[in-house]
Every structure is written in structure tokens, then in C-alpha cells.
Structure 1
């Protein structure tokens, strides 16, 4: 293999000087909003493929002056390997350093911390997917909304009442992040091109209704509501990708039988008006078995291809694999296991991109700056301490950047012709 720098230089040699100068000028142009054209993302009507990451705790770190610098450090390091999108939490409900202390009651210091995260992302040319709440108890989420409802005297029986009780739906809709005016940039969030997309909820599940109707109605209401406030930005749900009752022929593709009992339905959910692109997570080590095995890679390939095909045939939209990783706590883990998984994800996406397919990007779970190991859930990648992984990430970023640029120079958007980068430039024979 060669380094990403060598790849960059080899492709530069294939370009005319005017083409290379145009690439540099593109980097200096003002940002515009990411949109979609059919089954791909576009910026100024040109392709935009995503190589990104998750770091969920940025807002909380930005509250305290002693840890705020880690936000800057992270964006600087991620930008250094060409990553262009970060997914993070724009919520913290009723817990330590809560953004939303009670329904529609906010801590201004925490909101200013989120302002800082957005402004720093802009400074390092990283766009943000901002998630608006959690299915899980971490950072409050669905269970906290139910606790608030009970405190208000509502007769609630389980956490899934979050999806069905109109008072709790109204609590969610009153969460005012979209209308926030950034105290640093003076730009309203709903107008800021730094924001790639809004995510309705991280990993929604509604096991009390395996039919999926309850969650489907919630998605329909909330996607439409978010679009009424902000018709400019993209919206995605936050799903893990499990197939449900609407596609019984696809259910065998799920990693286990429990997945079809959690009230989600990949194709049906993503056909909702207002949902712009699909999200899928990949955790073979927790869904199939913790010990590292070849079965994890085989599952990852088939899981990705199934969802790419569905996004093309049934949804007509891009799909982002918005969480994927392997835990260092898994039996048999080593760095090469992680590198193999990441390379598998990247190569599958590149195969789709070459064909003009729906595979539009991925967000590794998760990237950390130095000195934050105490937050590690087993999946953390510290770029400065992971040279082989960093090189794989950087090489993928370079390939996507050059792919987009060559497409701009050689053809109109939507063209599926072969580009000057031949097949060898997309795979690990280098």
C-alpha cells in the first residue's frame, strides 16, 4: 500500500494545472447547505461523499473551560485526516450539565457550549449531524421525557409512551435547538450550513409495539414538524437499520430475531415525507457475538449491500452508515481487526460510489482526542496513537475528495461513467 499523500500526488499528476487550481479554489469558497439529488448528497450541485465520525459528548466538554480545548483538538485532528462530518448530541435532558433542565427550560451556559461546538466545527470545515434526543437513558432521552410526564401527573406506563402520548410529543417539539441563534457566529442554527442534518432520535426502538405503527406515527409527525421549522436542512431518523413487518422477505437479513421485535421498520420508516436520507448502524460484535471472527466481516458486507440496494430500489435516497466499529473489549480484538472492519466499510462504499449508487458515507464510532481515554466505551479511536487506522481514514478521505473533484471536471452530476481514477485506486492493492 502507499500513503494517502502518495495517492494524492499520483492523482495530481493526472490532472491539468487548471484542474488542480480549481480544486484549491473550491476549498476556499463559502459554504452552502448540503442537499440531496436523487440518491446522492450534493453541495452546489456537485457530489458530496461523507467520511466522518461520532463524538457524542462535545457539548458537555465545551461547558467547562478546562475541557473545552478538547473540542478544538478533536476537530483539528479529524480535519487533518480529511474527515468532513461529525455526528454529536444536541441534547442533554435533565441530567448532569443538562441543556434542557425541564421541558423548554434551558441552561444558557450549556447552550453557549453547543454554540462553541458549532462554531469550532465551522472553523475546521467539519459539518455536523445534530441528534435531538436519545432512545436510551444516557443523557436523559426518552426515559427522561417520560419522567417529566409522570412528574406532571400524566398516567404513563412505560418509556414507549414517549412516542404516543401527545404531551410528551409536544415536549419534544418544543425543544428549540433549530431556532437557536449562535452567540458566537450570530447565525440561527436552521440557517447555518455547518449543520449537515438533523437527527430525530438516536436509535429509536418501540418494543411495546412490534407492528411498528406507534413509532411510524411519531416519525411522520416529527419529520414533518422539523421541516416546517427548517425546510432547508436535511433530516434523518437515527435508525439502526433493522427490517420489520412491511418487508418480511428482508427480515432474515437482520442480525438476530430480536431485531424484528423492536418496532422499527427500515424501509417503511424511511418512506416518510420529510425524511431525506437513511441511517444504518453496524455492530456485529454486539449483535452477533463478541468474539472476533470472520463472520463479522461477512455480515458487515451483506448488511451494507442490502441497505444500499434498498436505498436505491425502494427509497431513492442516500444512505449513511452512521455508526460502525469494533470494541477493544471484544475477545480476540487487536488493531488489525479494527483496520479490517474499517477498510471493509470504506471499500463497500467506494464500490457503490463508482457506480453512482446510494452508499454515500460512513461515520465511525468513535474518534477521541488525546487525554479523553476515561470516556472510552471500548470503541474509541485516538488518531495520534493509531497510525495504521489513521492512514486508512486519511486514504479514504483523499479518495472521496478526488472522486468528487474528478466527477465535477469530467461529467454532469448523475453520470455513472468510469473516471480517470481506475479501479486500483479504490482498493488496497496500492
Structure 2
């Protein structure tokens, strides 16, 4: 029997043979890295203004002409980072997106993958970076609940039918403890990271356009109503183990969790901190939803806005402090507000959305000037030239894709190409982030 030292040497040789030496794998060549608690590309500080564009691969498959127009539009408005859904699971859930990347365990939709290939190629032409998330805690893309349905043989729980969201969250959290689910999930990640882009011949793990692999969209340890230490530890272990596995599969690229932050951690700062206090998670993510958390009511905007803004600042400050203690960059990767009056129409005004984005962008800019951990943001969400197909704003299979996912009214949080006032705020922020970054680079050089 080989001793432990011989086994360690064997494993080191094997990993080197497969992935190359760690130094070679991590050598900067347009890849985003983390240095001293900040993002860097080839030794230069990287900070960005971005958007959520979950449907980018879907457009690459169904409407590549619109994709190209929208990427040009985003580039012209200073957007350089896109957060994109890279794997979805075909589901019987009533409001889940169709088609899906994974049609059954081990079977993939090659047309959608070609769409993702195309998206990455077009992004590279425009010097954009992608954050690719690999499943979903929520039901709208199949997600963790579909993995459980595939492997546990039980009827899938549909919260859009019965409204039992706490039950849904607690059931979905079983994904972290489902061994066959984890096996399939990691196999899917291995397939994607080793995929060869059919347009470039380059493997995904070797593509610097991909900034980060993200474990999931908004993974949670369960509902706020039913905290348990066992469930929390399963969640923490899942983040560590999955991030470690991805680091082995794609060592040149970053790994992030996709967490909402404290609000997605059963409102426990200690749980959020513990889940991200691992060397395999490169940066922290936080989401900010003042409507969903009952901080703001668009129907009572004048009386609820000020307090919602105060809570938002306090919430982000908590994450700034945690990121500082962990010495990791921080990204606000989801935030938005409905159109005035709760309208879904692109013609409706956006007074409160514009006010909110301006305030939050100002906070990020101030933190950047102070050399704090805030390093990027992705507003929710960009719909571009898309428009709802039905008068009731309900999405149906075959309808155009907007930024709003299929379980939500189409236009709910969408930023359209016609939203000139909102886009002026976004592009102004992008300009200021670029200016702050340039000044910081000059200061460092001196």
C-alpha cells in the first residue's frame, strides 16, 4: 500500500498533468484575478458597471441579430460586465423557462449551448466579462428543485401554484444534501468548463471572457422561518466543496457564490460570513431588493422611499465591513426598482428607479474613492429592444425574452433601450467608475 506521502506526490503529478502547474494556470492573460482585496487584469485594477442579462445565451440561440445590437448598445453606455444564466433545467414547474440547457440528467441542449458560445464570442469582441451562474435556487429556470425531482422521485413543489414559499425554500435546500443531485450538478459543471466553443475552438476554462463561475443564483440555506444548525452547516460545506471543485476544473477563473447576502442567509451575518470565509470563494456578492423585503411600496412611494434608502445604506455597509474583514472584493449584482405606479409599460416614468440607482451608485463610487472593497455592480435588469408579447405582461414559451424572468410580469424591473433618463444615470456611473479606476492606477504607479 502506498504511504500518504507517495499518494500526495501522485495526486500532485496527476493534477499538474491535467490542468498544468498552478502558476501557469493562474498566469495573467486577460483573466480577472484578485489582488489585495480588489479585482485586477494583467496587473491593472479592474472595476466595472454591469447588468444582469440572464437570457444572453437564449438570445444567442433565438435572435443573434438582437443580441449583437444590444451588446453594442450596452458597450456604448459603458456596461462591461454581464451576469448570465449558463445552465437551466427542464422542469414541469408552471412558470419555468423553456427551452432549458439540461433536458434530463446527462443530456444537454446543444442549440442553447451554441447560443452561449455566440454570446461569449460577441462579448469578447467588445471587451466584456461574463459571470456565469450554474443553477438556480428559485423555480424559474428549473434549478435545485428540479435536481431533487429527478433524483428523489417525488412530485415537484410548485410555489407559483400554492404560494407556499417557505415550504419551497426548505425543500430546495435539500439539494445540498442530495448525493445524486450533487453528482449530476458537478458533472454538468465539468461538461461546461471543459466545453470547446464551436466558434473559436477555445475551451471555456481557457477563455478570459469568463470572469467568474457562480455556484447558483441566490442559493439559500432554507427559509427564514426554519433555521437549523445542521442545514446551515450543509449549506456552508456545499459552498466550500463546490467552489473547490470548480477551482480544480477551471483554475484561471474566479468563483463566486451568487448569494443575496445576509438577507439570503436567514438574516444572519454570521452565517453569510462563515459561508464565504473560504479560500475557494474569490469575492462576495450582495443583492438589494427593497420591494421584495417590504422596505418600499411603489404605491406609497413618497412615504416609504426615505426609510427604504436608509435601510439600503445600512445593509450595504454591513457587507462592506464583512468584505473588509475577509479581504475580498464586493459586488452588488442585483438591485432595481419598479417603474412609477407599478406599471410594466416601457412608456411609464421611472422617477423612483432613477433616484434609487443614483443614490446606490453614489455609495459605490464613494467606496471606490476610499479604496474600499466595492468593485462592481450589475443592475437588474436589461431588456433592451425586447417588449412583452401579451397585454397582461405574462411570459409564455416562445415569447421574446426580456430581463424579467418568466415567473414575473414582463417589464416589472426591465430597463429598455427607450429609458433615456435611467440610461443616463447608468452610463454616468460607468464613466465615473472608469475615471476613479484610472486615477487610482496613476496614484499606484507614482
Partner Cα distance (1:219, 1:127) in 2: 23
In 1, are the aligned partners of 2:133 and 2:213 still within 8 Å (CA)? yes
Report the TM-score when normalising by structure 2.
Answer: 0.77
* Structure-to-structure mapping, 1:100-111, within 5 angstroms: 100-111=102-113
Q: Distance in 2 between matches of 1:107 and 1:341?
A: 39
Cα offsets for 1:302-343 (capped at 9, x unmatched): 11122112211x211000001000122765995121111111
Measured against aligned partners, the alpha-carbon deviations of 1:133-178 in whole angstroms (never above 9, x if no partner) come to 000111111011011103499xxx9332210121111111001211
| Counterparts in 2 of 1:111 and 1:243: CA distance versus 1, 3 Å | closer
Task: Give the distance between the partners of 2:181 and 2:57, measured in 1 at CA.
Answer: 24
2:76 maps to 1:80: yes
Query: How far apart in 1 are the matches of 2:306 and 2:56?
Result: 34
Structure 2, gaps ≥5 residues long: 1-27, 92-97, 156-169, 390-401, 403-409
**Structure 2: distance between partners of 1:243 and 1:392:** 27
Match of 1:379 among 385, 403, 413: 413
1:265 aligns with one of 264, 267, 271: 271
Aligned to 2:45: 47
Separation in 1, partners of 2:264, 2:65: 43
- Change in Cα spacing, 1:216 to 1:234, as seen in structure 2 (3 Å) is same
CA distance in 1, matches of 2:256, 2:341: 30
**Residue 92 of structure 1 pairs with residue 92 of structure 2:** no
Contact kept in structure 1, 2:218 and 2:264, CA below 8 Å: no
Question: Given the superposition, is the C-alpha separation of residues 243 and 61 from structure 1 closer, same or farther in structure 2, using an over 3 Å criterion?
Answer: closer
- Deviation readout 1:67-88 (Å, 9 max, x if unpaired): 2222212211110111110001
After the TM superposition, which residues 247-396 of structure 1 pair with which residues of structure 2 at under 5 Å, given as runs? Answer: 259-260=267-268, 265-291=271-297, 292=301, 293-312=305-324, 314-328=325-339, 334-374=349-389, 375=402, 376-382=410-416, 384-396=417-429
Q: Distance in 1 between matches of 2:129 and 2:143?
A: 23
1:407 maps onto 2:437 in alignment: no
Please list every run of 5 or more consecutive structure 1 residues that lacks an aligned counterpart in the other structure. 1-29, 246-257, 416-430
- State how 1:141-220 maps to structure 2 within 5 Å: 141-151=143-153, 158-175=171-188, 176-207=191-222, 209-211=227-229, 212-220=232-240
CA distance in 2, matches of 1:164, 1:182: 33
Change (3 A) 1:272 1:377: farther
Q: Deviations over 1:72-123 (max 9, x none)?
A: 1221111011111000100121242221111221121111111111111112
CA contact (8 A) 1:285 1:330 kept: no
Q: Decide which of 209, 217, 228 is 2:248's aligned counterpart.
A: 228
Following superposition, the deviation at residue 236 of structure 1 comes to: 0.4
Q: TM-score, normalised by structure 1?
A: 0.79
Deviation at 1:410, TM superposition (A): 3.1
CA distance in 1, matches of 2:192, 2:64: 20
What residue is the counterpart of 1:418 in the other structure?
A: none
The answer to whether the aligner puts 1:58 opposite 2:70 as a matched pair is no
Q: Deviations over 1:338-358 (max 9, x none)?
A: 111111111111111111110
Could you tell me how far 1:282 is from its partner in structure 2?
A: 0.3
Query: Matched residue pairs, number?
Result: 363
For 1:237, which of 257, 268, 276 is the aligned residue? 257
Three-state SS of the structure 2 residue aligned to 1:368 is strand
Counterpart in the other structure of 1:136: 138
The structure-2 alpha-carbon separation of the partners of 1:406 and 1:289, relative to structure 1 and needing over 3 Å to count, comes to closer
1:196 alignment partner, SS class: strand
Quote the Cα distance in structure 1 between the aligned partners of 2:355 and 2:370. Answer: 23
* SS of residue paired to 2:287: strand
Q: Contact 1:38 / 1:316 at 8 angstroms: preserved in 2? A: yes
- 1:71 alignment partner, one of 67, 73, 77: 67
